[in-house]
């Protein structure tokens, strides 16, 4: 496989085998069925076993958590549950809607079948694995940081994920409140209030009308 991967540069793989390309490919498969699911804020995406289903986000934000701890968020144009293509059991992962969410639901077995019948389908699996490894390394690096530094880096990651524009000032949806963010940053309610006060003084966080919060990526 290493010889085959060597035929492509990393940029080429990301450009031709990214999540949007995978979504377009799946939509063009006549035999592959999908269904639309609309979910309200805070609701779990699917009550059935998560390792049987994969979602593509068309609207909104989804949090991925384990035992009340939010690991990361995914926004529009991203898949949720691709990890289950690599692991047999991913039932520990919980996918929850942040605000109003609309997703297309695919059966995992149908996606695997479609990729196995595609000449270069294995490249999607390779890229999924690479991205998962990068995520795990990132989480490990953040865990070694002090609370303030870690919180700032995690908020930057979140802001970039939920924005489709190349902007430096990203507005967070109102559903990303202190209750949700404490589970993401791994801090208490008291600590997050203190952190956000410091971030405001540094202009990393900018408060707008109706107490809306924006993240300044230039800080």
Q: Are 158 and 184 in contact (CB under 8 A)?
A: yes
**Cα–Cα distance, 126 to 128 (Å, whole number):** 5
* Domain co-membership, 131 together with 173: no
End-to-end CA distance of the chain: 42
* Domain co-membership, 123 together with 29: yes
- The CA–CA distances, whole Å, from 81 to 99, 147, 182 equal 19, 29, 23
* Domain co-membership, 64 together with 31: yes
* Domain co-membership, 196 together with 116: no
Please report the DSSP string for 97-159 in residue order. Answer: EEEEEEEEEEEHHHHHHHHHTSTTTHHHHHHHHHHHHHHHHHHHHHHTS-HHHHHHHHHHHHH
* Domain co-membership, 54 together with 12: yes
* Domain co-membership, 74 together with 93: yes
Q: Are 57 and 78 in contact (CB under 8 A)?
A: yes
* Domain co-membership, 117 together with 44: yes
* Domain co-membership, 68 together with 17: yes
* Domain co-membership, 98 together with 201: no
Domain CATH number, residue 152: 1.10.10.10
- Residues 10-43: tens digit of each pLDDT: 677 777 778 888 898 888 886 777 788 888 887 8
- Domain range enclosing 191: 146-216
* Domain co-membership, 127 together with 156: no
* pLDDT of 58 over the 80 cut: yes
Q: Are 129 and 85 in contact (CB under 8 A)?
A: no
- Residues 154-211: tens digit of each pLDDT: 999 999 999 877 788 999 999 999 999 999 999 999 999 999 999 999 999 998 887 7
Domain CATH number, residue 34: 2.60.120.10
pLDDT recorded at residue 60: 93
């Amino acid at each position: 496989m290493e010889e085959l991967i060597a035929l492509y540069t990393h940029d080429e793989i990301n450009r031709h085998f990214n999540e949007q390309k995978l979504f377009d490919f799946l939509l063009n498969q006549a035999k592959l069925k999908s269904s639309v699911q609309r979910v309200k804020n805070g609701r779990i995406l699917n009550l059935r076993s998560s390792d049987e289903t994969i979602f593509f986000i068309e609207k909104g934000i989804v949090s991925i958590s384990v035992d009340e701890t939010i690991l990361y968020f995914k926004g529009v144009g991203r898949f949720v549950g691709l990890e289950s293509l690599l692991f047999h059991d991913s039932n520990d992962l919980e996918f929850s809607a942040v605000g109003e969410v609309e997703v297309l639901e695919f059966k995992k077995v149908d996606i695997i079948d479609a990729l196995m019948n595609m000449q270069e389908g294995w490249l999607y699996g390779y890229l999924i694995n690479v991205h998962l490894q990068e995520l795990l390394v990132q989480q490990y690096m953040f865990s070694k940081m002090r609370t303030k530094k870690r919180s700032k880096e995690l908020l930057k990651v979140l802001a970039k994920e939920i924005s489709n524009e190349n902007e430096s000032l990203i507005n967070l949806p109102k559903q990303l409140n202190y209750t949700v963010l404490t589970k993401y940053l791994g801090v208490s309610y008291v600590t997050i209030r203190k952190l956000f006060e410091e971030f405001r003084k540094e202009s990393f966080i900018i408060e707008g009308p109706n107490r809306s919060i924006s993240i300044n990526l230039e800080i």
